[in-house]
Amino acid sequence: MNKPATPNSFRTGPDEQGMFGIFGGRFVAETLMPLILDLEKNWNEVKNDPDFRAELTDLSTHYAGRPSKLYFAEGLTKHLREVSSAKGLGGGAKVYFKREDLNHTGSHKINNCLGQILLAKRMGKKRIIAETGAGQHGVASATVAARFGFPCVVYMGATDVARQSPNVFRMKLLGAEVRPVTAGHGTLKDAMNEALRDWVTNVEDTYYLIGTAAGPHPYPELVRDFQSVIGTEARAQILEQEGRLPDTIIAAVGGGSNAIGLFHPFLDDKDVRIIGIEAGGRGLDGIEHCASMNAGSPGVLHGNRTYLLQNADGQIMDGHSISAGLDYPGVGPEHSWLRDSGRVEYVPVLDDEALEAFKLTTRVEGIIPALESAHAIAHAVKIVPAMDKDQIVIVNLSGRGDKDVHTVASMLGMEI
């Protein structure tokens, strides 16, 4: 594939057709097209509306607990400096965590849900539907639905219902109906298909609250904008705490909303190295991974063109990841574009590596990270010892790991 010419800015997309280069677009059934156009119209009205912004900022501050802290991970930094010394390198960059795990509901997902629920309210919608993988977005959706008095249906793959039972219970407590989806492998892809089927049936009153920066335009743009608060804060915080920009920023990429949220405000800071981490699962040789940008090819699914795991006939494959939140065979279209343009590097991290990072962070920082976030930490563990001591790395700690304790226990052969 031809590399696109380097643009003056990496922050201007998408274009009017909702495209990031060849990626993105509006590949949906005609039934949904008028709804998507209506959403786009409303989004364009609110995105620069001071009243909408003020309401969102107020909720973000007092309800969700923003700004989230940028925390110097001293324990992990010290550990990785010891690793560096043991290798005779004598280095080890300073590691900071962007603490999205401290948000209300325990992950970055609330940022997007608050923005979209205000949009749904403004559009006069009466019912919320959402898809969820790990259950983090389902919980955040159920939370804002409860807060604003909407009935809420969450589609969740049956496999994920089983491995994320604490989040299923939370959603039910919050008043949402959780509908398990048994099609395919019963993971996020199948949940998204079923949510789209619900939406195409209930067009009159239903708002589809997509959880990641993917789907038909304008979702990738609006989810990114709601999540960009992560990077905007982190950029200001590091300037205040260190007086300079970081050398490297790292985030895990499933659909990619926490990653695009951290990355977007840094895209034009050309000296900042940006790394997205894909789920390498059990390795990229077989099909037991979710590394669509490292081992997939461009295709069309769920309303957008993007990198997908697929076979030679264009049939979508079921991926695998230890982390339900990364278990998706595609990725948001802006990531695909950032990959091809070379601005962002995307690398895989294996299940085992993520699990080690999960255990390490818990021990040396007293923080139990989500398995999704543990993928990003695992990459920091790999690269930080070879960096200089005066260098700075920011890792997006996108969510807390309480929901994953059952999965981790079973991986470790323990019962709880």
227 burial type by CB count under 10 A (0-12 exposed, 13-18 middle, 19+ buried): buried
On whether the CB atoms of residues 228 and 268 are closer than 8 A, the answer is no
Helix (H) or strand (E) holding 43: helix 33-46
User: What is the CA angle 110-222-11, rounded to 5?
Assistant: 115
Looking at 94, 98, 109, 125, which residue is catalytic?
A: 109
H-only helix segments in 164-320: 165-173, 188-201, 219-227, 229-242, 257-263, 292-295
Q: Minimum Å distance from CB 346 to other proteins?
A: 21
* Closer of 9 and 17 to other proteins (Cβ): 17
Name residues whose C-beta falls within 8 Å of residue 276's C-beta, 6 or more positions apart in sequence.
250, 251, 252, 253, 256, 259, 263, 293, 335, 338, 344, 345, 346, 347
Task: Report which of 94, 88, 167, 107 is spatially closest to residue 132, judged by C-alpha positions.
Answer: 167
Assess whether 109 carries a catalytic annotation. yes
Assess whether 131 carries a catalytic annotation. yes
Q: Minimum Å distance from CB 201 to other proteins?
A: 4
Q: Minimum Å distance from CB 373 to other proteins?
A: 28
Is omega for the bond preceding 14 within 30 degrees of 0, making it cis? Answer: yes
Looking at 40, 131, 353, 372, which residue is catalytic?
A: 131
Query: Which residues make up the interface to other proteins (CB under 8 A)?
Result: 17, 25-35, 183-184, 189, 193, 196-197, 200-204, 297, 299-303, 305, 308, 310, 312-316
* Closer of 255 and 385 to other proteins (Cβ): 255
Q: Minimum Å distance from CB 39 to other proteins?
A: 13
Task: Report which of 364, 375, 340, 322 is spatially closest to residue 5, judged by C-alpha positions.
Answer: 340
* Closer of 31 and 61 to other proteins (Cβ): 31
Ranges assigned E (strand) in 293-368: 297-301, 303-308, 345-350
Q: Minimum Å distance from CB 18 to other proteins?
A: 8
Assess whether 94 carries a catalytic annotation. no
Name residues whose C-beta falls within 8 Å of residue 127's C-beta, 6 or more positions apart in sequence.
150, 151, 152, 153, 202, 205, 206, 207
Q: Minimum Å distance from CB 26 to other proteins?
A: 5
Cα separation, 67 vs 241, whole angstroms: 15
Q: Which residues are catalytic?
A: 109, 131, 398
